[in-house]
Structure 1
């Protein structure tokens, strides 16, 4: 079963149609009908008399329901979808629900984290239980009021009805219900009875976003607040020797200039696990009355730095990673059978190496955070993916109790893993503690690109042995700068499908800070492995799709608990992708590339359609099939899927950050290439319908995109790609002569 959620008149189609309208505009909707001059003003929630039903739900005497969304909102839509789950089981009308962002509350909430595409998956059962429990207590209160058994009552959209047809709204019984004992066992709805889950819901913040209301960290302000800009080392590994702030101190609006770093360095020396992503170097802080004044004064600081003797350059990293792959200093998180024996007995062996560069996160909203350290409490506010972790680090740095930390989460203008690491939170707290004022730290784009946390450069070497037309040995070797995801990839496909299978990992410890970048590690590995499978199929002279299906037939998760994916669910997305993409039946000028992949608990298959324009391949369309279990908000899910695909296409095509002597060679968008609107393909999305619990969606569609494009480029040009970004080797994007003749 499937549901095609593709929009029939997309923004891209609108823009293209507009450009063809003879200089005019062809508008696909009536603008004036969208205006509602008689619309009732929004309810002033502050004036309502609320009862705190629990940490998630407030119900007012007039029946208005406010649901708190506990997790950070990073653009993945959880501020909409998590309250939808509660509202479904609470049985209220979604149109009558108001949503607020929750603050950090480790007593009442669990896993207040935006990372790993796990918010909905991890919260699914608890959120349903929360809504259902509150509903049962309201029903019990109504039953007591009427003197009847609770089982006789019915509920619909916040109205409780008895057998006689009498009704009570939630607001009529909320006070009594809040005093009742919390029931231990409550009934949860069957998916067939859902009224909210599975229906499109607009982003709850959309009105504020389009009208510019304060939502983001950069919007956050309090009376008496000052602004801080920080002079950081010009290259990784450098240390501050001295600085001259004479000119800066004379500039307008400057409040103070001083050095920080002692507190963080002391903690790192005492406990290296404090945070590996926070620099131990001293930094110079400029505090001013505005962001602009702070940034301008920062430029006037004359700092002297001690240079690191370690060479941290792209060329050196390239050699280091190759040497690691050629060496034998590996950790082996998974080894099945005997790969040496498998390769020794093979009729054919295919071995390929794949390369990826460092990537910055480049969130639209630069890093920023607010702090106000007082004797009574430490008030923090801003965009952070890991609020509890950062609150704990701040408490440790300042020698405070964690209960002293009050942390508000603002909406984030992008995160992609960068805001997992709260170097900017630590800076804000240390600065406020020094000046005894409320302060906001604001990074420039250059600050974040030059001294950020990056996706590590990685090389993969994959080797497969073929015996009697079957893959009998498979060896994956990873060499990475800094980080290895030991638990992430060894048990993904094709683990369990090949008798002799081994994954080895090695790393080089660099001064350059690296960390999670949207869909960590799989964001590149999917391209490498899926390109390799296509090349294997060509060597074996077998159908590319059938090769994958045959491998999946061999996987027995019931016999190997390490296997994290479902072969049956993977086969379902493969088969639907073949059907919906018109695989193998497109006109000769359309070249297709196929990929199937599993990550973040979700199964995905993608097909890229590529056409040749001016002798080069152009990505026109991606057909994407997703099995993410129950889809809570289809509209939000589409946004995540399409954004992930386009992000995957763009970074595999263009993304690259090179280093020389520990310094990035790009520090803004004038030198760092992102995908442009005209280059983004149409994304056609299909869901596998089932009743499995929801799985991740923010990341799983990004990794397969690069592989689908690479395989389609091979079909179009005859050239196989082994290095990202693909434009790094432009000669391989040219069509081979025989292909042109054909």
Structure 2
């Protein structure tokens, strides 16, 4: 047996050591450093000294660049992709870029919002212009030092070169450049010259995420900070009547028990309202603790009495109310082309379906939380919000403070999906801190999030179409929605412009249950309903499913006054690509395919789902997804977003259900509310249309179409049309009326 060979490591080779339950020790080390003890660690760009250049950019003497990402990061990748836009036009090496989350700054930044898949779309030119302007100023400074014309200089990866071959790094001239006059016009790169945009870049926070570094709202701490847990009404429609806090106050670690709610009542009494205030103004009991656990235990010890102030609603109540509204005559007509009534009166056949979707919670990985420290000098706010500016404005009003006193710092968010558009958790934290005059962090549990939150509204659609002489002659879409959809149903998406007689009507049922935007607002279920309906229409017309869409889109192209938001050419292109890549219609035996094509959030998507039936249960094996979102800024991040949207959409369409009984949510954690499991996720193949069109949305557009693709595949396998989500709970539901 050969003698063992001694090994040597430097201290930095060790990443961590931790005790095992068995009493042993596991030691991890950096393999590359262990093999080469003299390898220098990478430069920590965050520790360099930087000179301010503008609100977006700082440059160090070493030529390294800090780029601030202004928009909230909820996992959609903007903290990586938005700095890529600046770095591209600034012409620096991505390896020399350090990215830092920007604070709320309404003077320098615009639209600091994470919602609607619009961050890159709105920032595409402004951020590139920021980088190009800074680059030009740096070149101008170098040219002035050399005494040459700036047009004689070139730049590559942060190094400026003149015609004589002399070079200066950005760090050499940053101080001079920063005081130069800002050029009025700059030239942006042609897409063919991009070096960073279009190249896959890893998440700039990935190392910190996987090593557990503090990035998220729940990670944030300050010296002397206390923790607060809020006891809210157990049912929608109830208010606080009385409470006994003696048992809670007796617990170790509980500092105080207070009530909040007056600030919101005062705000609303002034006739003010804000769409981010999805919360009741009843009194709530707050337990203040030294730790989160102290506050949570204290909250459980509170004995509270609640009284009913408004009707306590149940799922059955909503279902019947929405059906009554669909069958009624009171609607808001959003669009009316031609004469649907006449088309139906003269039809050979009318096909009608009702599609139903339940309430859904957002279920972000990180429950709601926020830090607030209200002092006479300022109001310091830190945490995960998708709408920091809206939050700051309301806080200023709530406290009667100047908006300049409100300082908002954004943390990375463990998911948003629309829930963090609503800043109720911010206002609670502010009122708590203002009451006890100490810094606090309000922390919600998973149960708090699921039972006292904001929900996707329960919605029903009635869709009817008329057929005459084998042609589609009329289309009538009716929506009945609890509290109405956030934006109202937008009527200018497909099939608008494709059918001469086309009408869209909406009606709302008012409820005391708080509802709001949920990933891909309103289209998340509308796409499932409409694209399932078109699958049935194709069958009724005796047409190929793909050809029906192609023909309808050809109709749009022949109608110059169609008044539409989508591009028929781009929708046809993604449909063709999905058909090609999925091997549509030529699968092996036992594999059933369903198709869906949709436009939303300014992007065009087509998807094909392949399923098999195993013991009578549908199993989604593969999804082929074709996307036209314009120029893909970060292909790696884009691929993740597209796949994530597909998987999220499958999970909620098949499994997720949520309801109320006398105002009380019927699920409060994942033991009773099903999200998609890893073993249920299919292989997802994503294909992007390559073009030089400005980027559009990607965080949401791949979710809406998938529900219909799966439902249409299940129909192929079983002969059953699924119209009610979640599909797995309603496999035997039929509500078709064909006449």
Counterparts in 2 of 1:47 and 1:675: CA distance versus 1, 3 Å: closer
Alignment of 1:683-698 (within 5 A): 683-698=684-699
* Maintained 8 Å contact 2:489/2:506: no
1:44 CA drift (Å)? 4.8
1:171 aligns with 2:177: no
3-state SS, counterpart of residue 530 of structure 2: helix
C-alpha distance in 2 between matches for 1:272 and 1:161: 58
- Separation of aligned partners in 2, 1:487 and 1:650: 25
DSSP 3-state at the match of 1:353: strand
2:634 corresponds to 1:662 = no
Gaps of 5+ in 2: 1-29, 735-739
Q: Which residue of 2 aligns with 1:701?
A: 702
**What is the match of residue 5 of structure 2?**
none
Secondary structure of 2:100's counterpart equals strand
> 1:417 Cα deviation (Å)?
0.3
What is the CA deviation profile of residues 320-340 of structure 1, one whole-angstrom value per residue up to 9, with x for unaligned ones? 000010111111111111111
Partner of 1:736: none
What secondary structure, in the 3-state scheme, does the structure 2 residue paired with 1:465 have?
Answer: strand
The answer on whether the counterparts of 1:497 and 1:552 sit within 8 Å (CA) in structure 2 is yes
Question: Take 2:508 and 2:272, find their aligned partners in 1: how far apart are those partners?
Answer: 19
Correspondence for 1:152: 152
Alpha-carbon distance, 1:269 to partner:
2.6
CA distance in 2, matches of 1:715, 1:53: 60
Q: Work out the CA distance in 2 between the residues paired with 1:493 and 1:347.
A: 24
Residue 273 of structure 1 aligns to a residue in which SS?
coil
State the secondary structure of the residue aligned to 1:257: strand
C-alpha distance 104-625 of structure 1, shift in aligned 2 (>3 A)? same
Tell me the distance in 2 between the aligned counterparts of 1:672 and 1:612. Answer: 24
Asked if structure 2 preserves the Cα contact closer than 8 Å seen for 1:630 and 1:691, the reply is yes
Write the distance in 1 (CA, Å) between the matches of 2:686 and 2:301. 51
Question: Which residue of 2 is the match for residue 84 of structure 1?
Answer: 84
- Deviations along 1:573-613, one digit per CA (max 9) or x if unpaired, are 00011100000111121110000000000000000001121
CA shift, 1:219, in A, is 0.3
Q: Distance in 1 between matches of 2:33 and 2:538?
A: 55
Aligned to 1:511: 512
CA distance, structure 2, for counterparts of residue 39 and residue 105 of structure 1 = 41
* Cα offset, 1:53, TM superposition: 0.9
Please tell me whether the aligned partners of residues 357 and 458 of structure 2 are also in contact (alpha carbons under 8 angstroms): yes
What's the offset of the Cα at 1:62?
1.4
How do residues 417-428 of structure 1 correspond to structure 2 at under 5 angstroms? 417-428=418-429
* 1:263 equivalent in structure 2: 263
Instruction: Establish whether residue 209 from structure 1 lines up as the match of residue 209 from structure 2.
Output: yes
| Counterpart in the other structure of 1:21 | none
Q: Normalising to structure 1: TM-score of the pair?
A: 0.93
Indicate conservation of the 8 Å contact 1:658/1:664, yes or no. Answer: yes
CA shift for structure 1 position 470: 1.6
State whether residues 484 and 506 of structure 1, in contact with CA within 8 Å, keep that contact through their aligned partners in structure 2: no
**Alignment of structure 1 residues 94-493 onto 2, 5 Å:** 94-275=94-275, 276-486=277-487, 488-493=489-494
For structure 1, which segment, 482-491 or 348-357, has the greater mean C-alpha deviation from structure 2 after superposition? 482-491
How much does 1:271 deviate?
Answer: 2.4
Q: How does 1:550-589 map to 2 (within 5 A)?
A: 550-556=551-557, 559-560=560-561, 562-589=563-590
Deviations 1:658-685 (A, max 9, x none): 1000010100111101110000011001
Question: Cα offset for 1:41?
Answer: 3.3
**Contact 1:245–1:301 under 8 Å retained in 2:** yes
Aligned pairs for 1:591-740 within 5 A: 591-731=592-732
Distance 1:704 1:31, change over 3 A: farther
After superposition, the Cα gap between the structure-2 partners of 1:155 and 1:590, relative to the gap in structure 1 and judged at 3 Å, is same
CA contact (8 A) 1:268 1:274 kept: no
Is the 8 Å Cα contact of residues 335 and 501 (structure 1) preserved in structure 2? yes
Shift in Å at residue 483 of structure 1?
A: 2.1
Cross-structure match for 1:7: none
Aligned mates of 2:352, 2:389 — CA distance in 1: 44
Q: Which deviates further from its counterpart, 552-561 or 127-136?
A: 552-561
Would you say how many aligned residue pairs link Structure 1 and Structure 2? 704
Asked if the contact 2:348/2:468 (under 8 Å) is kept, the reply is yes
Indicate the SS of the match to 1:702: coil
How far the C-alpha of 1:562 sits from its partner, in A, is: 3.5
Contact 1:121/1:696, CA 8 A, preserved across alignment: yes
The superposition leaves residues 106-151 of structure 1 with CA deviations (integer Å, 9 ceiling, x where unpaired) of 0000000000000000100100000000000001111111111111
2:45 and 2:97 in contact (8 A); partners too: no
Q: Indicate the larger mover: 612-621 or 205-214.
A: 612-621
Q: 1:35 to 1:296 in 2, by over 3 A?
A: farther
- CA distance in 2 between partners of 1:592 and 1:272 (Å): 51
Q: 2:610·2:623 contact (CA, 8 Å) conserved in 1? A: yes
Using the alignment, how far apart are the partners of 1:351 and 1:317 within structure 2? 21
TM-aligned CA distance change 1:355 to 1:732, over 3 Å:
closer
Deviation at 1:345, TM superposition (A): 1.4
CA–CA distance in 2 between the matches of 1:33 and 1:64? 24
Distance 2:532 2:36 in 1: 52
- Measured at CA, do residues 309 and 386 of structure 1 come closer, stay the same or move farther in structure 2, by a change above 3 Å? closer
Q: In 1, distance between residues paired with 2:359 and 2:638?
A: 28
- The C-alpha deviation readout for 1:629-683, integer Å capped at 9, x for no partner, is 0000000001100000000000000111110000101001111011100000110
CA pair 54-260 structure 1, distance change in 2 beyond 3 A: same
SS in 1 for 2:639: helix
Distance, in Å, in 1 between the alignment partners of 2:310 and 2:426 is 30
User: What is the CA RMSD across the aligned residues, in angstroms?
Assistant: 1.6
* Alignment check: 8 A CA contact 2:226 2:290 kept: yes
Q: Is the 8 A contact 1:427 1:441 kept in 2?
A: yes
